[in-house]
Structure 1
Amino acid sequence: MEELFKIDFHVHTIYSGDSIITPKLLVKASLKSGLNGVAITDHNTTKGIQKVKDFLKNADLTIIDGIEIQTRVGDIIGLFINEELSSIDPYEVCDKIHEQGGLVILPHPFRKRGLQNLSNELLKKIDLIEVLNARSSKESNQRALIFSRSSNIMPIAGSDAHTPFEVGRAHVKFTMQITSENEIKSLLRTGEFQIGGSETPQHLQILSRGISAYKNKGLTGLIRAGTKKILGRD
């Protein structure tokens, strides 16, 4: 499949609190990895989106407005949104995303903070399931792919990058040039794309998680994160 347009649909900036990717670094890393677009999905905030757009200048890079909300039962990503969300109720979060014309993504469903044991009512509100998250284990991603197929819900991929070297490691490939966000949404809904990339190597995942944990909880968090990853706990 010839790829003409490549997008990473799950990236975090420094505004997530546990990422070291500055707006300037994100633009550079995205272009270096050959991406045509990137979705900024910071934890519970959209503050980083405009900051990244300010650094674009003449760069040929599509920025998709997104957010990753930590609900009371797990994480939910909203793509193509125009307002920040503050609810922790998963049903309300999904409804608010759809009201804005956005898409509801279920990220890393078989990892910590993934939405598991979904009710049929909540499952009906999910537009796409993340089947390749570069920060997850191969086993977790395989389970997500099976879940996507059995639920008849379209797949999607994203790096879940928190460091520059992770950007673009998991992505979606389209075989046509994209000229609008509506085109992207339409292609995602109809499945006219392919999943690309692979899991980040374990030693780099340990490094990335250690950096994130250190930013959040200092040295103690770094040690705990490294230990969990070494023991194979997502």
Structure 2
Amino acid sequence: MFAVDLHAHTRFFHGHRALGDRFDPYGFRLLARALDARGLDGVATTNHDYYTPFSSSRVATIPGIEVSTTHGHVLVIGPDPPTETVPGEYTPAEVVELAHDRGCAAIVAHPYRDSTIRELEELPFDAIEINGKHPRTEQLVQRLAERHDLPLVGGSDAHYPFEAGRAYTRIDAAELTPEAVVEAIRDGRVEPRVAAGRFDRGLRRLYREIHSRKHPDGLLAEPSPGLGEPPDATDS
């Protein structure tokens, strides 16, 4: 059994690709140290719309990319993710097909933040994510996964190293390789975990306060029909 953060970034910011490329190796080293300190075994590096290979003696690294589709974000994780994608160019269905053609898993990222993928027709996703920035939507995500008969995974969505491991996935596999991770996700041999230590609780309270000031008019996402009213989805 391995503990892996399946959604983490190596930079503190979006955009500025050239600057980010120079920063990414440093950001990854900080990320690996933070995950090692939390006792995690591995991480999928899922930068927005590009993939860069990394390696570390501290944690196993799983290739990945977070693709910005026409209806929200999809994590593509596995041995051969696309190197780069154009934001908004692909539909979710196209990204699922692309992921499967490359032997990767396609995962719905943070379905209750900046995403309407959950409202689309049935698509052959491999899992749905419980996101570390929005753990209070966990029950909604569980119900969504049950409705679509899909496994649940966890990822921190960390952009800063201290956020790493806030949510992660327990993976039942004999070895921690990209192929084994994909197989375990598809077989449902995965289980999400949300960190509940004092630091994590304090961090969530701080981010809720920050986001309540940034979004004073309420929720970031509306529920799909039949899913009930969501809780405050402004955790970060």
For the aligned pair, the TM-score class normalised by the smaller chain equals 0.7 to 0.9
Q: Which aligned pairs between 1:15-54 and structure 2 lie closer than 5 A? A: 17=14, 22-46=27-51, 49-50=52-53, 52-53=54-55
2:152 paired with 1:159: no
* C-alpha distance 229-77 of structure 1, shift in aligned 2 (>3 A): farther
Segments of 5+ residues of structure 1 without an aligned counterpart are 211-222
Q: When the two structures are aligned, how many residues end up with a matched partner?
A: 207
> What one-letter code is carried by the residue in structure 1 that aligns with 2:214?
T
C-alpha separation between the residues in 2 aligned to 1:101 and 1:41? Answer: 16
* C-alpha distance 40-208 of structure 1, shift in aligned 2 (>3 A): farther
- The secondary structure found in structure 2 opposite 1:156 is strand
Give the Å deviation of 1:201. Answer: 4.6
2:166 paired with 1:180: no
C-alpha separation between the residues in 2 aligned to 1:119 and 1:181? Answer: 28
Contact 1:16 1:45 (C-alpha < 8 Å) held by counterparts: no
C-alpha separation between the residues in 1 aligned to 2:173 and 2:125? Answer: 26
Contact 1:8 1:39 (C-alpha < 8 Å) held by counterparts: yes
2:62 paired with 1:61: no
Q: Which moved more, 1:36-45 or 1:83-92?
A: 83-92
Aligned to 2:113: 111
2:220 paired with 1:227: no
Aligned to 1:93: 95
The RMSD of aligned alpha carbons is 3.0
- TM-score computed with the length of structure 1 as normaliser: 0.76
| 1:81-129 CA-partner distances (Å, limit 9, x unpaired) | 3422333322222211111111100011122235231112xx2x21111
C-alpha separation between the residues in 1 aligned to 2:47 and 2:233? Answer: 23
Contact 2:152 2:190 (C-alpha < 8 Å) held by counterparts: no
Segments of 5+ residues of structure 2 without an aligned counterpart are 219-231
C-alpha separation between the residues in 1 aligned to 2:127 and 2:183? Answer: 12
Contact 1:5 1:174 (C-alpha < 8 Å) held by counterparts: yes
